[in-house]
Amino acid sequence: MSSYSVFFTQAAEAKSSLQLAGKPAIRKALLHLSRLLRSQQQSLLAANKTDLDRQPADNPRNDRLLLTPERIDAIAAAVRSVARLPDPTGKLLLRKTLPNKLRLRKISVPLGVVGAIYESRPNVTFDIAALCIRSRNVALLKGSIDAWHTNQEAIRLIKMALAEAGIHQGAVTLLPPDREVVDEMMKATREIDVIIPRGSDGLIQYIRRHSLVPVIETGAGVCHVYVHTKADIQKAVNIVFNAKTSRPSVCNSMDTVIIDRAVAKKFLRRLAPVFAGAKVKLLADAASFELLEGYPWLDKAAPDDFSREFLSLTAAIKIVDGFDDALAHINRFSTRHSEAIVTENKKLAEQFLQLVDAAAVYVNASTRFTDGGVFGLGAEIGISTQKLHARGPFALEKLVTEKWLVSGNGQVRES
Amino acid sequence: MSSYSVFFTQAAEAKSSLQLAGKPAIRKALLHLSRLLRSQQQSLLAANKTDLDRQPADNPRNDRLLLTPERIDAIAAAVRSVARLPDPTGKLLLRKTLPNKLRLRKISVPLGVVGAIYESRPNVTFDIAALCIRSRNVALLKGSIDAWHTNQEAIRLIKMALAEAGIHQGAVTLLPPDREVVDEMMKATREIDVIIPRGSDGLIQYIRRHSLVPVIETGAGVCHVYVHTKADIQKAVNIVFNAKTSRPSVCNSMDTVIIDRAVAKKFLRRLAPVFAGAKVKLLADAASFELLEGYPWLDKAAPDDFSREFLSLTAAIKIVDGFDDALAHINRFSTRHSEAIVTENKKLAEQFLQLVDAAAVYVNASTRFTDGGVFGLGAEIGISTQKLHARGPFALEKLVTEKWLVSGNGQVRES
């Protein structure tokens, strides 16, 4: 019996309350939470200030921890939009009657208890809570010690909203920010149905390696844009520039641009001034290094630069000899997140879509579109780079499992 | 670089051959394999005899290893039925056009490379190979040393069938039956997309704990039949008898019968002679022990007997005080495989279906129906008791993942 089992027991108790709650109650809880985020903004900001004051002023993570009125508004809007999403549970996925008159129904049901382990961003507390309430999953939240006061205030608002809707307050529980909690969660195979780690690649890998509870993993993106010989060069420049610079800190941003040798000179001549204007640092292979002579932030690429997710204004450049060569590079280095080709050759474009093994594969568009919101799935927990259960934007619709309901009249099996 | 990497490389090479093969080629490979299983039956039986001759004659596992003409016919029929199943890949799951004219398609695609780790049953080699070929997944098969000659002959037939259909023979590969192979497979996160362990619970748990490659797990079943106060007693006797005795060695057979106190005496008086006729051994709780006085194979249940999967003609008996008590027992001991209630009370039946957390939940029918074939899904790899990706019968339709295809005309993301 772990010292945290009281929380796990509470979670188990809340399960039926959440699963039996009517649709209006679920909606009410979320809309009320959204309102509380506005009416109780000051107390949330104050708690956040307490957390920030305990950090060194120059801690680079402070920005992740920081709440502002604008950020709280954005969180409230996100919670409201989750309230509007359709209920992913109770969907009739299949219905059939067997020759012996046994009636089968396959329906979508909540996963049960979702454990979330994340770092200092306080919006994650609200995001996961809202998605879990919407999908009738009990949530056990383990945030970081840095955000402890903010998260305590957040959970207070969440529990007020649950109470207002008549839902058991154990439906969302904030766990103490102790390291040992994580170990207990990873062992709780009977109490927790799935663990969702959110944050750095290190955190995610640690949990994937050690958890006995199944993990839904959102992964790093080493993403490529391949500029094919038949690319429209202006489109290619726009796409590469957007994929790299529009939000370099996110996983769907481009890391390496791959260029067919035949168009490399022409393309780089157009790209260089645009990239230079944004102060993009380039790590070039031998061939492109030569072509980029004079570029102000240029370095030779080390071999492992091609497997790096930069999450910053840095890009690697690789020149290849045609489609197969580009595909081989992508197969070797891709983390199977988002991959793009720029080409006017429709047949090759279709081949690229078919042969590249990634969650999202693009023709003539920026990799930056890989996103649950953009794809119309509502808020997302992250982009899954695994192949089981959820691939690509991991959103509300995947916070469920299936259940077979079988109704009979005394049927038994002959063999 | 592991010494087995040659096999992994071969698998990677075969991937596009299998994915680009036409539907007729896939079908041809499977139908040809089915024919070879008949025409080459003698060589398969001879190889099997070599394996059996190396075992002690009294090895209880010999029956699992044994092939007979009838068993080979059954395997051939199973392969033929897989050939007839619809292609689970290439399905258009969703199509939409975003306001910026970006066209999205979500399609089902093969998982990629499936690693199967299993024990001595030689039919698994053919089952997994057939399901993988049908779903265009490359298969890496790791069987047991006991079945090595049989499996070598099996893979010879499988590769003949692939060759006949013009598919790369690396599409199905038999790995050496070395222990280290398993360790290499569990680390091969870039080369293997999913590992499927098939066999004992010990094997499955070992792989689940140690694999870095995602695992699809088929689990043990501690299954209950709950005889409610309002049960039709004759139905209840038939269902309990069938669930326990029709095939006790499989995971969907009943382990514990739960009985409402109000009907316990009446029910057990009817059940006892029927169970006695089949020599079912009973492990009874205190209350039922008294009622069963004189039953020839009776013992008191130890506390952990209620969490045992017997896989034999043994059943535990538990008397409860009504619905909530029964539910509490099931929640505590169920492995979430198959659970049944026998009752004529429709409202309670519906509550049971909703509140019991299991892959398959039954009203007035035997738990023995939980099976991919019975549910109309074709051959199954096993019954999944996990909640992610596949729950319940894990069949062909779940040997796929999704992929988002995005086609544009130069679109970039604004924010």
Q: Secondary structure of A241-271 in the HEC alphabet?
A: HHHHHCCCCCCCCEEEEEEEHHHHHHHHHHH
Over range B19-36, report the average pLDDT.
96
In whole angstroms, what is the distance from residue B240 CA to residue B246 CA? 10
User: ∠ CA(B53), CA(B56), CA(B57), 5° rounding?
Assistant: 80
- Which chain B residues are closer than 8 Å to A246 by Cβ? 412-415
Q: How far apart are CA A155 and CA A10, in angstroms?
A: 15
* pLDDT tier for residue A236 given thresholds of 50, 70 and 90: very high
pLDDT digits (tens, 9 = 90+) for A91-149: 999 999 999 999 999 999 999 999 999 988 899 999 999 999 999 999 999 999 999 99
CB contact (8 A) between residue B368 and residue A402: no
Q: Would you call A389 and B391 a contact, using CB atoms and an 8 Å cutoff?
A: no
> B194–A387: do the CB atoms touch at under 8 Å?
yes
Tokens of A7: 């929380």
Contact B232, B344 (CB under 8 A): yes
How many other β-carbons are positioned within 10 Å of the β-carbon of residue B314? 17
- Residue B336's Cβ-count burial label (10 Å; 0-12, 13-18, 19+) is buried
Distances in whole angstroms, Cα of residue A410 to Cα of each of A101, A407, B223, B301, B344: 10, 9, 17, 28, 11
| Domain boundaries of chain B, sorted by first residue | 5-217+389-407, 223-369
Q: What is the pLDDT of residues B280-304, one digit of tens each?
A: 999 999 999 999 999 999 999 999 9
- CA-wise closest residue to A15 among A115, A139, A128: A139
- Per-residue pLDDT at A9: 85
pLDDT at res. B59: 83
Q: Report the pLDDT value the prediction gives residue A6, as an integer from 0 to 100.
A: 87
pLDDT at position B13 over 60: yes
Q: Is B249 on the interface with A (CB under 8 A)?
A: no
Dist CA A62 CA A84 (whole Å):
32
Q: Write the residue in A98, A238, A404 that is nearest to B360 by C-beta.
A: A404
Model pLDDT, residue B379: 80
Residue A245 CA, chain-centre distance (Å), reads 20
In B121-180, the residues whose Cβ lies within 8 Å of chain A are none
Contact A297/B at CB under 8 A: no
**Contact in structure between B75 and B126 (CB atoms under 8 Å):** yes
Chain B residues in contact with A405 (beta carbon < 8 A): 353, 360-361
What pLDDT score does A406 carry? 98
> Across the interface, do B401 and A411 touch by the CB < 8 Å criterion?
no
Residue A355 Cα distances to A36, A272, B403, B405, angstroms? 48, 30, 11, 11
On the question of pLDDT at A207 being above 90, the answer is yes
Mean pLDDT of B27-32: 98
| The pLDDT value given to residue B200 | 83
Closest by alpha carbon to B19, among B158, B170, B149, B195?
A: B170
Q: Is A90 helix (H, G, I), strand (E, B) or coil?
A: coil
- Residue A191's φ and ψ, nearest 5 degrees, are -95, -30
A365-387: average pLDDT: 91
Q: Are A357 and A331 in contact (CB under 8 A)?
A: yes
Between CA B336 and CA A144 the distance in angstroms is 33
Q: Which residues share a beta bridge with B341?
A: B226, B363
Mean pLDDT of B82-106: 96
* Confidence at residue B217, expressed as pLDDT on a 0 to 100 scale: 83
Beta strands in A344-399 (DSSP E): 360-365, 380-384, 392-395
Shortest Cα–Cα distance, B53 to chain A (Å): 31
Determine, for residues B412 and A386 on separate chains, whether the beta-carbon distance falls below 8 Å: no
Q: Does A102 touch chain B (CB under 8 A)?
A: yes
Measure CB to CB from residue A102 to each of B102, B365, B415 and give the nearest one: B365
What's the length of chain B? 415
> How many A/B residue pairs have CB atoms within 8 Å?
184
Min CA distance, B100 vs chain A (Å)? 11
| Cβ–Cβ gap A360/B208 under 8 Å | no
- With residue A198 as reference, give the H or E element that holds it: strand A194-198
Q: Does B349 touch chain A (CB under 8 A)?
A: yes
Q: Which residue has the tokens 């009446």?
A: B266
Sign of CA dihedral B374, B376, B380, B384: negative
Q: Which of B238, B404, B414, B415 to mutate to test the interface with A (most CBs of A within 10 A)?
A: B404
CA distance B241 to B313: 11
- The pLDDT of residue A180 is 93
Judged by CB atoms closer than 8 Å, whether chains meet at B412 and A239 is answered as yes
Worst-scoring range by mean pLDDT, A98-112, B43-57, B236-250, B378-392?
B378-392
Are the beta carbons of A164 and A28 closer than 8 angstroms?
Answer: yes
- Interchain contact A250–B (C-beta under 8 A): no
As beta bridge partners, residue A394 has: A382
Identify all chain B residues contacting A223, using CB atoms and an 8 Å cutoff: none
- Residue A131 CA to residue A378 CA, distance in Å, equals 10
Q: Does B212 touch chain A (CB under 8 A)?
A: yes
Least CA distance to A335: which residue of chain B?
Answer: B190
DSSP 8-state secondary structure symbol assigned to residue A96? E
Closest CA–CA distance from residue A38 to any residue of chain B (Å):
24
Buried b (16+ CB within 10 A) or exposed e, B83-111: bebeebbeeeeeeeebeeebebebbbbbb
Q: At A391, is the secondary structure helix, strand, or coil?
A: coil
Contact B81, B378 (CB under 8 A): yes
Using an 8 Å Cβ cutoff, are B378 and B82 in contact? yes
Question: Are the beta carbons of A212 and B209 separated by less than 8 Å?
Answer: yes
CA distance A11 to A170: 5
Residue B415 has pLDDT above 80, yes or no: no
Please give the average per-residue pLDDT across B143-154, as a whole number: 96
Nearest CA in chain B to A209: B212
pLDDT of residue A2: 63
Compare CB distances from B391 to A212, A232, A402 and report the shortest one's residue.
A402
Helix (H) or strand (E) holding A92: strand A92-97
ipTM of the complex: 0.92
Q: Check if B119 contacts A (Cβ < 8 Å).
A: no
Contacts of A415 in chain B (CB under 8 A): 246-247
Instruction: Report the residue of A388, A394, A399 to disrupt the B interface, i.e. the one with the largest count of B CBs within 10 Å.
Output: A388
CB contact under 8 Å between B368 and A413, yes or no, is yes
What's the CA angle centered on B183, arms B177 and B187, to 5 degrees? 130
Whose CA is closest to A319, among A228, A223, A221, A222? Answer: A228
Which positions in chain A touch B349 (Cβ < 8 Å)?
Answer: 407
Question: Model confidence over A148-204: pLDDT tens digits?
Answer: 999 999 999 999 999 999 999 999 999 999 989 999 999 998 899 999 998 888 888
pLDDT score of B322: 97
What does chain A come to in residues? 415
DSSP state of A199: S
Task: Give the model's confidence band at A274: pLDDT under 50 very low, under 70 low, under 90 confident, else very high.
Answer: very high
Q: Inform me whether the C-beta atom of residue B387 falls under 8 Å from chain A C-beta atoms.
A: yes
Interface probe with B: pick from A404, A409, A414, A415, most Cβ of B within 10 Å: A404
Q: Which chain B residue has the Cα nearest residue A212?
A: B209
Question: Closest approach of chain A CAs to the CA of B199, in angstroms?
Answer: 19
Q: CA B360, CA B385: separation in Å to the nearest integer? A: 10
CA distance linking residue B20 with residue B154, whole number of Å: 25
C-beta atoms surrounding B176 within 10 Å: 12
Which helix (H) or strand (E) segment is A178 a member of? none
Residue of A nearest to B355 (CA): A16
Q: In this predicted structure, what is the pLDDT of residue A150? A: 98
Is there a contact between A151 and A143 (Cβ–Cβ < 8 Å)?
A: yes
Q: Assign 3-class secondary structure to chain B.
A: CCCCHHHHHHHHHHHHHHHHCCHHHHHHHHHHHHHHHHHCHHHHHHHHHHHHHCCCCCCCCHHHHCCCHHHHHHHHHHHHHHHHCCCCCCCEEEEEECCCCCEEEEEEEECCEEEEEECCCCHHHHHHHHHHHHCCCEEEEECCHHHHHHHHHHHHHHHHHHHHCCCCHHHEEECCCCHHHHHHHHHCCCCCCEEEEECCHHHHHHHHHHCCCCECCCCCCCEEEEECCCCCHHHHHHHHHHHHHCCCCCCCCEEEEEEEHHHHHHHHHHHHHHHHHCCCEEEECHHHHHHCCCCCCEEECCHHHHHCCCCCCEEEEEEECCHHHHHHHHHHHCCCCEEEEECCCHHHHHHHHHHCCCCEEEEEECHHHCCCCCCCCCCEEEEECCCCCCCEEEEHHHCEEEEEEEEEEEECCCC
B376: nearest CB among A96, A354, A361: A96
* Secondary structure letter of residue A388 according to DSSP: S
> What CA–CA distance (Å, rounded) separates B110 from B87?
10
- Partners of A360 on chain B (C-beta within 8 Å) are 403-406
Q: What's the rounded Cα separation, in Å, for the pair A283 and A315?
A: 6
Q: C-alpha B384: how far from its chain's center? A: 6
B102 closest CB neighbour out of A16, A369, A391: A369
> Does the beta-carbon distance from A247 to B415 stay under 8 Å?
yes
Selecting from A358, A368, A406 the residue whose C-beta is nearest the C-beta of B413 gives A368
Does any CB of chain B come closer than 8 Å to the CB of residue A188? no
A chain contacts of residue B98, beta-carbon cutoff 8 Å: 374, 376
Enumerate the residues of chain A whose CB falls inside 8 A of the CB of residue B232. 410
B5-217+389-407: CATH number = 3.40.605.10
The CA distance from A93 to B82, in Å, is: 23
Q: What is the pLDDT of residue A289?
A: 98
Give CA–CA dist B45/B223, Å, rounded: 36
Per the prediction, chain B carries an average pLDDT of 94
Please give the pLDDT value at position A415: 73
CA dihedral B33, B34, B35, B37 (to 10 degrees): 90
Q: Do A410 and B238 touch (CB under 8 A)?
A: yes
Is A362's CB within 8 Å of B242's CB?
no
**According to the model, what pLDDT value does residue B29 have?**
98
Assigned token pair, B344: 């004529």
Record: fold of B223-369:
Aldehyde Dehydrogenase; Chain A, domain 2 (3.40.309)
Nearest-angstrom CA–CA distance, B391 and B42: 38
In this prediction, residue B23 has a pLDDT band, given cuts at 50, 70 and 90, of: very high
> Is B250 an 8 Å CB contact of chain A?
no
Strand pairing partners for B315?
Answer: B282
Two tokens, residue B296: 């020839």
Contact B214 A388 (CB under 8 A): yes
pLDDT above 80 (res B2): no
pLDDT recorded at residue B285: 98
